[in-house]
């Protein structure tokens, strides 16, 4: 059985007090549903991580993610945060290769493969993001584009390593735009991603990797998107900043 999972990505939002308030509300709402079978992950800015990890420690159904990490274990990299540092404050997941990191910080497939290695070597679970820009979707080359991202950054991993990873498919044209992929488009890509992973790691391993959808997922459209058999949850930006909306999306799974 694949883990069902909804991960929030706060991006560069919320000061510390706002982040604590939001987390406290989410913890309360999660505690009201003790039999829920969906893991919630809070992807917060670095400054929130230690406090969010403490606030969520009372429930195993909530975990904490960083939104980025450095590929080296330590050293003279001013302003950067290593995976060992993340682990030391209770972080268990790390978002790697978000399209905003790829675009604004020029993170390449090769660099992302090193970040995946760094996370795995510290026992953190990478949430590896892939997805095509609008021009690629318009020329109907999205499958090749996304498969190339996966091959370049993940195909050097061992079976055991790939088995502890989460993939997030995020069409760039749907992120923060209010446009979502249709349920059929999402399912088609998720199935293609799973088949591509299976071509390298085998059906059994690929069949156990959670694949999340991200891109303007909201309480109103989550159920339809999550209905696809290869859609195991969501990576949620804007709607993760509101506790009720985030919980409603969790409940749609």
Name the residues that contact ligand PEP, by CB under 6 A: 9, 170, 175-176, 214-217, 235-239
Q: Which of 100, 107, 132, 170 is catalytic?
A: 170
Residue 97 CA neighbour count, 13 Å, CB half: 31
Nearer to ligand PEP, 9 or 23 (CB): 9
Active-site position among 98, 100, 132, 196 = 98
**What is the H or E stretch that residue 241 is in?**
none
Query: What is the rounded CA–CA span in Å between residue 86 and residue 65?
Result: 9
In the complex, least distance from residue 59 CB atom to ligand PEP, rounded to whole angstroms: 23
190 in active site: no
* In the complex, least distance from residue 205 CB atom to ligand PEP, rounded to whole angstroms: 25
Q: How far is the CB of 218 from ligand PEP (least distance, A)?
A: 8
Nearer to ligand PEP, 201 or 214 (CB): 214
- d(CA 110, CA 153) in angstroms, rounded, equals 6
Query: Measured at CB, which residue is nearest to ligand PEP?
Result: 237
Q: Within a 13 Å sphere around the CA of 111, how many CA atoms are in the beta-carbon half?
A: 12
Task: Output the six-digit token pair for 216.
Answer: 């303007």
State how far the Cα of 141 lies from the Cα of 93, in Å rounded to an integer. Answer: 30
- Minimum CB distance to ligand PEP smaller for 71 or for 216: 216
Nearer to ligand PEP, 201 or 241 (CB): 241
Minimal distance, residue 170 CB to ligand PEP, in Å:
5
Task: Provide the β-strand partners of residue 5.
Answer: 39, 233
Our answer to whether residue 170 is catalytic in this structure is yes
Would you give the distance in Å from CA 182 to the centre of its chain?
Answer: 19
Q: Which residues are catalytic?
A: 98, 170
């Amino acid at each position: 059985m694949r883990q069902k999972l909804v991960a929030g990505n706060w991006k560069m939002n919320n000061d510390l007090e706002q982040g604590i308030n939001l987390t406290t509300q989410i913890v309360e709402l999660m505690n009201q549903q003790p039999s829920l079978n969906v893991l919630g992950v809070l992807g917060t800015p670095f400054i929130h991580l230690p406090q969010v990890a403490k606030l969520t420690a009372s429930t195993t159904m909530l975990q904490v993610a960083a939104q980025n990490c450095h590929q080296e274990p330590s050293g003279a990299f001013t302003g950067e945060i290593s995976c060992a540092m993340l682990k030391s404050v209770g972080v268990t997941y790390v978002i790697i290769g978000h399209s905003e990191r790829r675009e604004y910080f020029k993170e390449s497939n090769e660099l992302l493969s090193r970040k995946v290695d760094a996370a795995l070597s510290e026992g953190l679970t990478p949430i590896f993001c892939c997805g095509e820009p609008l021009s690629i979707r318009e020329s109907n080359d999205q499958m090749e584009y996304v498969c190339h991202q996966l091959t370049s950054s993940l195909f050097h991993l061992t079976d055991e390593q790939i088995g502890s990873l989460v993939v997030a498919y995020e069409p760039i044209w749907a992120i923060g735009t209010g446009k979502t992929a249709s349920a059929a488009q999402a399912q088609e890509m998720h199935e293609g991603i799973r088949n591509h992973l299976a071509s390298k790691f085998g059906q059994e391993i690929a069949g156990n990797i959670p694949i999340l959808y991200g891109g303007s997922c909201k309480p109103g459209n989550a159920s339809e998107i999550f209905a696809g058999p290869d859609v195991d949850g969501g990576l949620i930006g804007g709607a993760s900043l509101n506790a009720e909306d985030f919980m409603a999306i969790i409940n749609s799974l």
